[in-house]
Amino acid sequence: MNVRYSFEADGTGRGKTAGVRSLKWRAFERRLTSFLTSYRSAEAVPFHESVGFFRVLTTPRTAASAFPIQQIQNYSRILLMSQAAPAITRSPEEVVRQSPVSQAPNGICYAIVGEVTVATSDLERMVAAVPETAAAALQRKAYYFVPLTVNQGEDTVIADRYDVGLSDNAVCHRNIELGDSQCVFISTRLMDDKFSVAFEFYINVGHAVVEKVGVSQEFSELVWKQVEAGVRGETSLDAWESRKAATSHAPDAEKHKSEYLMATFSDAISIYLLSLFIDVDYYDLRERDYPLLAPAQMAERLRKVAELFPANPGFEFAIYYKRRS
């Protein structure tokens, strides 16, 4: 997970392009895997034997079982035709004014706007998964799940559906202050699958919780003990870089330690929330820019977060280990 590098709180971080590209690729990979599997043109093969992680790879086919090319061509035509007319864009103020807001049982306010492909039931459960103790830190916030949140110069506009021409300037999300409230617009069509949309939402929630309540002393002690033990890896590029700075002998090491603890707490909250909503293979969270924290130490952090923010009724937190093959 690359929290602030790929998903800056204001959507304008130096890693925005890399983060968007990563999300687009993950979404494409999931859709391609689903398509290939539906036509029995793929098989699961071990990718990382120590954890039993699987990735779908195509296998040779005979002429009799070739892809339904006509269906693929028809699908392509449908996609092209859907882009014939430009998407309608509106200002965030218009979207807020015209969109009815729902409130989840945990108190979080949200709205679903435009052509969003993630099922409404999934989005509802996604929001409801946030424990009430964490949701209490999100007062005066409203989350808007929209197709695309787009930069247009100094302005931000919201597209009513996916548009290729707008996607290059789209951001994962944008936090906008309107009156005495903060509205968070999450682009669902940059990712297009519930895993990625949920992770983007929970990353934002994790940052908001830490900004509101700070870092738990118990969590800080646990994490720093891991650092002193020389545990390898981290949960985000922010955590990885600030950890290196915090363990240096530089004059501002204490400042970096504080930033490190905030980053790790936010990361752990985000992953914990994601695991309440959907089954997570920990190695799906790997990034190229830093080594991922060892599973045993990640489990310790998640258990501590679960103690601080117990799951709501109907949601369960559990950690399972896969045997070596």
Instruction: Give the mean model confidence (pLDDT) for residues 176-196.
Output: 90
Does residue 77 lie within any of the structural domains? yes
- Closest among 186, 213, 171, 182 to 127, alpha carbons compared: 186
61 in Cβ contact with 49 (< 8 Å): no
Report the range of poorest mean pLDDT among 11-25, 43-57, 83-97: 43-57
Q: What is the mean pLDDT of the chain?
A: 81
Bridge partners of 35, per DSSP, are none
CB atoms within 10 A of CB 86: 11
Instruction: Give the mean model confidence (pLDDT) for residues 156-162.
Output: 93
> What pLDDT score was predicted for residue 27?
55
Helix axes 217-228, 253-277, angle to 10 degrees: 110
The pair of three-digit structure tokens given for residue 192, joined into one six-digit string: 């297009």
Does residue 182 lie within any of the structural domains? yes
pTM of the prediction? 0.75
Bridge partners of 111, per DSSP, are 144
Backbone angles phi, psi at 106, to 5 degrees: -85, 0
What is the distance between the alpha carbons of residues 25 and 15, in angstroms, rounded to a whole number? 15
> What pLDDT score was predicted for residue 20?
45
Same-domain status, 118 and 135: yes
> What pLDDT score was predicted for residue 2?
35
Render pLDDT for 252-291 as a digit per residue (tens, 0 to 9): 999 999 999 999 999 999 999 999 999 999 888 888 889 9
Final residue before a domain boundary, out of 167, 191, 215: 191
Does residue 294 lie within any of the structural domains? no
The pair of three-digit structure tokens given for residue 199, joined into one six-digit string: 């992770």
Better pLDDT: 52 or 290: 290
What is the distance between the alpha carbons of residues 221 and 230, in angstroms, rounded to a whole number? 14
Range of the domain at 26: 7-57+66-82
> What pLDDT score was predicted for residue 321?
84
Confidence of residue 52 (pLDDT cuts 50, 70, 90): very low
**pLDDT at residue 184 is higher than 50:** yes
Same-domain status, 77 and 17: yes
Q: How many domains are contained in the chain? A: 2
Q: In this prediction, what percent of the chain has a pLDDT beyond 90? A: 62
Render pLDDT for 107-117 as a digit per residue (tens, 0 to 9): 999 999 999 99
Render pLDDT for 56-98 as a digit per residue (tens, 0 to 9): 333 343 444 444 545 545 545 555 554 557 889 999 999 999 9
Render pLDDT for 203-251 as a digit per residue (tens, 0 to 9): 999 999 999 999 999 999 999 999 999 999 999 999 999 999 999 988 9
Q: Provide the CB-side half-sphere exposure for 142 (13 A, CA).
A: 24
Does residue 154 lie within any of the structural domains? yes
Same-domain status, 47 and 107: no
Q: Which of 17-21, 122-126, 171-175, 280-284 has the highest mean pLDDT?
A: 122-126
Same-domain status, 107 and 76: no
Three-class DSSP category at 170 = strand
> What pLDDT score was predicted for residue 266?
97
Q: Which of 82-86, 125-129, 316-320 has the highest mean pLDDT?
A: 125-129
Same-domain status, 96 and 52: no
Helical (H) or strand (E) element with 56: strand 53-58
CB atoms within 10 A of CB 279: 9
Same-domain status, 101 and 166: yes
- Rounded-to-10 torsion of CA 177, 182, 188, 189: -10
Contacts with 70 (C-beta within 8 Å, 6 or more apart), sequence order: none
Helical (H) or strand (E) element with 256: helix 253-277
> What pLDDT score was predicted for residue 206?
97
- Closest among 289, 237, 242, 287 to 261, alpha carbons compared: 242
Same-domain status, 182 and 156: yes
